[in-house]
Structure 1
């Protein structure tokens, strides 16, 4: 090495000569590691980093030594520091990507795995973890495509077979999922969680006997596995084994006392066993966490009826009926989370003045009604609108309409922009234009209701809000207030409860509803709903 340095010395900078010295020191650390002396290797690496803090190979080596010593958190920090200095290092992209995935930062993990695959497109491990990251982001289509790529790279990997079966099950192809999971189990019965995966697939294929056997085995193999306990309870409920199901639900709730699925399942069991008071208490706990769970109101109504509390039973039945009517307006949680992740990413791009990248992001993530030419511009305009950048919002919304005159919701959001500016006439015009192109636009109908509300046309406002089946707390507040103005106190109270339910942790919205109830002498209901503020 010294000969090489001398030969090209005239062409090297002082920094390069420093790197050459550092490489000698790093070589000494590597030799210590090969001898099995991890402590000495780490000391040498730390000394090297102290004198050459921007020498990425030393940081990378330090991370590998720390990882071998089981000091994973310190190893992760070393790898991340090295990656900052060497962002194109494929090994560091993988190491940090896996760490980010395990830490729950799936978006960053996906970005790192994608960068690595640009250089090593057929790396099976990276494809495996990328598929898992997409799955955790509820991007099931991308997860399936990625694991299928991995299957072409690693056709004999039983872990890939198992993951493929799991992702097929998540996408709804339960019959094919069962084939791949069974194949994986036959090849290696010791695969981690294979019985759980088979139990889920069997349950979704309505093979309850097999599901029960797999779930019971999963519980016996992994004591304290809450997912396996929950699966066993779900199967027992399907089999109407109410007494047997209570135990697993209670074991889950002992660790996760606010788990909604377990509270609902336990309340259902208690109702079926005619333990009505216990069912009321369990379901009330659940509804204190989330008042929009439709089945909870149905079961609670039946539990109150079992206790002879018919007024309470009727009230819960009415809430259940209203929630059923509005169910079509509620976006499923997995879709909502995926959309939220995209919106957060797009907002950051717009904050950084990368408008074209934000539009391209929406184009790449487009599904269903948003997979049209004008939709990406419309969505970026919407993000601008909620960022308070009205001129940019209007510019992109109008561009979306120029590209695609029938693009969904562009007129609606232009109407919302007009509402923000207090222009009710322009707002109504835009909402009506939306309804000409999209007669079933619930948002346009609801916002037309807001126009009527601001005009104090209470009957018309209530009609539009009800027709829209809105679940927006602010609009439900307006509907409740409209009912109070019309003297329809019962309807106002029910709507106020729904508003609080959909507001969930938005304490400002909850307080507004409580204040509205107090102003209208509904103090008992106001006091009950205000408990949400105290939680």
Structure 2
């Protein structure tokens, strides 16, 4: 572009202001330049970069899209546009921008890497692998390309290949903190604790101030069963960042595992102080610590099933002739779900299948169930605020929330291991279909049990147990911090339920 273009004088001034960090003055001058020449792609690009630096992604995207449309070969504009979209969480649009660069220059290393990162964030792992492999082919000595290939291989479940790529990254750039951290995490997953600890300690040697370094070390020590050392690492992490909720969470767990309930109780109180008012997870650990200390009445106040649980038999929803027809429609929808997965990873379901998100469906039966659940939640929250206004759980009930749900299909001997829902506020279950052996049964097979703590937490005290017998058409609501499990049953017919969480949104 020549110096005699209409925008030139304002543009030169704007660039000087931009370089000096006077962003608002520069923005005004860029806009003046565009008033003189609205078709100047370079000015649109520069203004877009400025808006991106100022944290105004929407305005940045508008200017950068204009620059790229005016000059389709303008690589820098496409790069900045992709970055702006990625920063705003629009990874599909980011991928499109980086694809535009790769279409023009197939060997453009930064675009290939950024394209792979966007594809990975979209869950397009195979596409991301191809992009990162192309990046490595362009420059085998690029630690950036190797590192991202390793991370994507890990996402794809190929841990051995991922670790090899990360080791190559470290041979290229020995002090690559992110590569050491990711490699150590993969080693923890394989129970290769000594190797993992070695890499985490190397991170601390290279970068003593590396974010999360002490926390990561604590996680590895905890996984190795070295709970006293893990607690020390989490305490250091907390001293560095007193609001690190993950460190507080794991400190509580390590202290309980290490048989130090008094210290765990103190940690729970600290955790509660820094936790957002609408999250109640620390109460799960506090109840365990109180039980371990023999303070059963105080634990019972936190785990009071009689006062903190709602049990409701749903009426027949509009549009259905009977509860049998309604539950039949729900069962058919659940069993036909394409994402019904056997024993999904990181879930409590054993000997059964579980869906992903269920409540996004437009199915009439699901919509009717969601409406009934929402009404029950409103009643539950209102009743607690009226009857137990000072209870620590009531005080943490959120004002704003969203509902998420999934279905669980348990087969013979199927069950759910003891767990609680750490990110929820109110949790619940609706019973769709029970196997014949559970109708009128006198034993606890297939029942829902509250109070049994997960083995991973430990605990030697006698738990406060309560058992709830399921019934078809029954809805239960309870605090998300309640530990619960299901008891295995003997039957050839499945047990179908729909579970859900109230997720606080602020």
Q: What CA distance in whole angstroms lies between the structure 2 residues aligned with 1:36 and 1:214?
A: 45
Higher relative contact order (CA 8 A, sep 6+): 2
Report the counterpart of residue 292 of structure 2 in structure 1. 306
Report the counterpart of residue 262 of structure 1 in structure 2. 247
Q: How does 1:215-230 map to 2 (within 5 A)?
A: 215-230=200-215
Q: What CA distance in whole angstroms lies between the structure 1 residues aligned with 2:170 and 2:334?
A: 54
Q: What CA distance in whole angstroms lies between the structure 2 residues aligned with 1:316 and 1:144?
A: 48
Report the counterpart of residue 207 of structure 1 in structure 2. 192
Q: What CA distance in whole angstroms lies between the structure 1 residues aligned with 2:354 and 2:181?
A: 41
Gaps of 5+ in 2: 306-315, 341-351, 373-406, 432-447, 451-465, 470-474, 483-499
1:111 to 88, 91, 96: 96
Is 1:84 aligned to 2:66, yes or no? Answer: yes
Is 1:135 aligned to 2:120, yes or no? Answer: yes
Is 1:233 aligned to 2:214, yes or no? Answer: no
Kept in 1: contact 2:264–2:289 (CA 8 A): yes
Where is the helix percentage greater, Structure 1 or Structure 2? 1
Q: Which has the larger radius of gyration?
A: 1
Kept in 1: contact 2:133–2:149 (CA 8 A): yes
Q: What CA distance in whole angstroms lies between the structure 2 residues aligned with 1:54 and 1:109?
A: 24
TM-score normalized by structure 2?
Answer: 0.55
Q: What CA distance in whole angstroms lies between the structure 2 residues aligned with 1:266 and 1:135?
A: 32
Report the counterpart of residue 24 of structure 1 in structure 2. 5
Report the counterpart of residue 186 of structure 1 in structure 2. 171
Report the counterpart of residue 108 of structure 2 in structure 1. 123
Report the counterpart of residue 496 of structure 1 in structure 2. 477
Partner deviation per Cα, 1:260-296 (whole Å, 9 max, x = no partner): 5423321122123432133245457579866689xx9
Partner deviation per Cα, 1:194-249 (whole Å, 9 max, x = no partner): 33233223323433222212212213433443332221111222333333322332
TM-superposed deviation, 1:441: 8.2
2:40 to 37, 50, 55: 55
Kept in 1: contact 2:204–2:210 (CA 8 A): yes
Q: Matched residue of 1:476: which SS? A: strand
Report the counterpart of residue 99 of structure 1 in structure 2. 84
Gaps of 5+ in 1: 1-19, 320-417, 455-464, 480-487, 508-534
Partner deviation per Cα, 1:80-101 (whole Å, 9 max, x = no partner): 4142354344431211212332
Is 1:248 aligned to 2:230, yes or no? Answer: no
Q: What CA distance in whole angstroms lies between the structure 2 residues aligned with 1:246 and 1:104?
A: 35
TM-score normalized by structure 1?
Answer: 0.52
Where is the strand percentage greater, Structure 1 or Structure 2? 2
Computed over aligned residues only, the root mean square deviation of the Cα atoms, in angstroms, reads 5.4
Report the counterpart of residue 505 of structure 1 in structure 2. 503
Kept in 1: contact 2:7–2:34 (CA 8 A): no
TM-superposed deviation, 1:119: 3.6
Q: What CA distance in whole angstroms lies between the structure 1 residues aligned with 2:45 and 2:35?
A: 14
Structure-2 change in CA distance of 1:219 and 1:318 (3 Å): farther
Kept in 2: contact 1:63–1:76 (CA 8 A): no
Is 1:172 aligned to 2:154, yes or no? Answer: no
Q: Matched residue of 1:156: which SS? A: coil
Q: What CA distance in whole angstroms lies between the structure 1 residues aligned with 2:333 and 2:15?
A: 70
Report the counterpart of residue 428 of structure 2 in structure 1. 476
Q: What CA distance in whole angstroms lies between the structure 2 residues aligned with 1:279 and 1:90?
A: 55
Q: What CA distance in whole angstroms lies between the structure 2 residues aligned with 1:276 and 1:311?
A: 16
